[in-house]
Amino acid sequence: MGCGVIHLRPEGLIREAGNERGGAARKPRGGSISPLEEFAGRIPSLIDEQPELTLFETVAELRKRRIRTSRSSLWRFLDRHGIILKNGNEHTRSELRHTSVHRPRPP
């Protein structure tokens, strides 16, 4: 078993000498690419065509166009590309309060 020099750095302990199994190189991290990046040109154009769509409606429209996605992956895609969708809160609290269904209390 090889003994090596150990350095304390902000990213953690790094051992300079390798061990019997191989070098002391760091393992790669991250690097995965979202499947939505394949459609990076089509998604913003859809949003430009229909800017009133909410996140839920955008996912439904993408699925109609055979682009499989979820709300969370679309949200992350939009965040990475700096795209903002409509809020989806068209009603104020007072409007919701006046239009809500009132159920009678049980006796």
Q: Are 74 and 62 in contact (CB under 8 A)?
A: yes
59 by Cβ neighbours in 10 Å (0-12 / 13-18 / 19+) ranks as buried
75 vs 8, residue with greater confidence? 75
pLDDT digits (tens, 9 = 90+) for 26-38: 777 777 889 999 9
> How do the domains of the chain map onto residue ranges?
35-87
pLDDT digits (tens, 9 = 90+) for 67-103: 999 999 999 999 999 988 876 554 444 444 444 444 5
